[in-house]
Structure 1
Amino acid sequence: MPLNDFDLEWKRLLRTVVLPPIGLGNAILAPWIIWAIWTARNQKLFQNRTFSAQETVTKAICDAKEWATAQVPVKTCEQRRKIQPNRSTTEITCKSDAAWRKDLQAAGLAWSFYRNQKERFSSHDQPVAFVNSSLMAEGLALRAAMEQAVALQMRLVVFEFDSLQLVTAIADGSSFSDLHGILSDIYLLSISFDFVSFSFCRRETLCFEDSAAKNSLSNFVLTQTIEPVLV
């Protein structure tokens, strides 16, 4: 049986339509799968990080969708500009922060939702174990905030946090080993919003979230250090 012609098969893949529910419109998935496999291979060789086939394909889909979103036609951009002045009445600001203990590999996460930047109407916090870095803690806080926003059916949300490194990672599609899976989740969650943005903010604007995150971490540490009482 003759070998397949690489050039012919590659061109066929480039013409393949990605079917629902993944549907990517005009985006092509094949190159992104190959790139995701290559980057996963590099992560394994150079950082001893292993990613499953599902994680690798999810990353490829996220990258393909991000690329497709970046190819917005001029007409769509004009339509977005027309609706932006009216967003102020329904747009929600979500502020998130995290506190991390390196010795315990644990973190406290906190996030709040605001109307008009100042009117806080909902806040949440939770402790998390097995957290490898402060950057990972910030990413987990953002992901939890986005999951909450999706659950509350919020459509227009500006997410603010004080990690410039995380903002850059989201904007550039960087592949930090600690954030590989978290960034994939953030990209997928972004699809659920009509409008979403990620912004760096000064630490002093996160006083409430900072305090809530630290309290969540302190309570978690306390429960881990209490000795059982024998009766």
Structure 2
Amino acid sequence: MEDKSRPQVITRSIPWIIWLIWKNRNSILYADTQVSKDKALSNMMQKVEQWFILNCPAVQNTGERINIEIWRPPEEGVIKCNVHANWRNAVLHSGVAWIARDESGNVSHHARDAIINTPNRLIAELQCVSWALNSLSDLGVTKVIITSDYKEVMEALKSPRQWPRYRDLIHQVLKLKDKFVMVAFETESVSANGIARDIARSVLRDGRFQSYLVLGGPSWLHDRLARERNGNSI
């Protein structure tokens, strides 16, 4: 890790690689499952990136500022809802979550659930968007921005004719727009969508399969929510 001749992206990933090997070993021994190497490494690199974004100084020794994509609040009167579906494969449950915040970064509600029968991540994400819109409509929200770091689902909702295989699901989501005064779909960076991602991951990680919807944000993410509310990702 102290070898400066190696790329930083490799040296700083070493602790996560060790952790990944340990998790994979436990999955094989106790759950008889194994995530593909490419998917496992991709997920690991996202965690590494997110950790360094949240915990490293914004200014390097050279004095240059790091370009960090952080969560941005919506316009006044609009609710911004980050969503994420933690899909692993077609057999296992998928953990889904959404978290809604106002223009001041205050959390109005958040929710999580476990869903089944999802052949791929796009379907899981579309179901998550549909669930979030239904919930927000029931809560009386009239103007909302739905954001996800999975750009394909945002592209499908903006250009449904280019995704004929998912026509029925996309139609269900778009029909829900009639319940609102305004609905927009936007792509978020992985780091800016980190809160929703972590809530969704907790469903499978901690065995939290019971659906719930509550006021405010999760207490275990309080510090990160405060940093994002204050516009500070450090």
TM-score range, shorter chain: 0.5 to 0.7
Q: Does residue 183 in structure 1 map to residue 170 in structure 2?
A: yes
For the residue of structure 2 that corresponds to 1:196, the secondary structure is: strand
| Distance in 2 (alpha carbons) for counterparts of 1:204 and 1:107 | 20
Q: Any idea what the Cα deviations from partners look like across 1:78-115, whole Å, max 9, x if unmatched?
A: xxxxxxxxx93311111101101216242110001101
Matched-pair contact (CA < 8 Å) for 2:90–2:117 = no
Name the residue aligned to 2:115: 128
Structure 2: tracts of 5 or more residues without a match: 1-73, 211-234
Matched-pair contact (CA < 8 Å) for 2:203–2:209 = no
Matched-pair contact (CA < 8 Å) for 1:93–1:117 = no
Q: Does residue 163 in structure 1 map to residue 150 in structure 2?
A: yes
Cα distance, 1:198 vs structure 2 = 0.2
- Give runs of aligned pairs for residues 70-109 of structure 1, distance below 5 A: 88-102=75-89, 104-109=91-96
- Give runs of aligned pairs for residues 10-49 of structure 1, distance below 5 A: none
Closer, same or farther in 2 for the Cα pair 1:176/1:213, shift >3 Å? farther
Cα distance, 1:208 vs structure 2 = 1.4
Closer, same or farther in 2 for the Cα pair 1:103/1:154, shift >3 Å? closer
| Distance in 2 (alpha carbons) for counterparts of 1:182 and 1:220 | 27
| Distance in 2 (alpha carbons) for counterparts of 1:88 and 1:211 | 25
Cα distance, 1:136 vs structure 2 = 1.1
Cα distance, 1:220 vs structure 2 = 4.7
Q: Does residue 192 in structure 1 map to residue 195 in structure 2?
A: no
| Paired residue total | 136
Matched-pair contact (CA < 8 Å) for 1:95–1:113 = yes
TM-score for both structures, normalised by structure 2: 0.54
Q: Using CA pairs under 8 Å that are at least 6 residues apart, name the structure with larger relative contact order, 1 or 2.
A: 2
Closer, same or farther in 2 for the Cα pair 1:208/1:101, shift >3 Å? same
TM-score for both structures, normalised by structure 1: 0.54
| Distance in 2 (alpha carbons) for counterparts of 1:210 and 1:182 | 22
For the residue of structure 1 that corresponds to 2:167, the secondary structure is: helix
Cα distance, 1:221 vs structure 2 = 8.7
Name whichever structure is richer in helix by fraction. 1
| Distance in 2 (alpha carbons) for counterparts of 1:152 and 1:187 | 19
Name the residue aligned to 2:205: 218
Moved more, 101-110 or 186-195: 101-110
Cα distance, 1:116 vs structure 2 = 1.3
Cα distance, 1:180 vs structure 2 = 2.8
| Distance in 1 (alpha carbons) for counterparts of 2:206 and 2:168 | 27
Identity of matched residues, %: 16
Report the RMSD for the aligned CA atoms in angstroms: 2.2
For the residue of structure 1 that corresponds to 2:99, the secondary structure is: strand
For the residue of structure 2 that corresponds to 1:88, the secondary structure is: coil
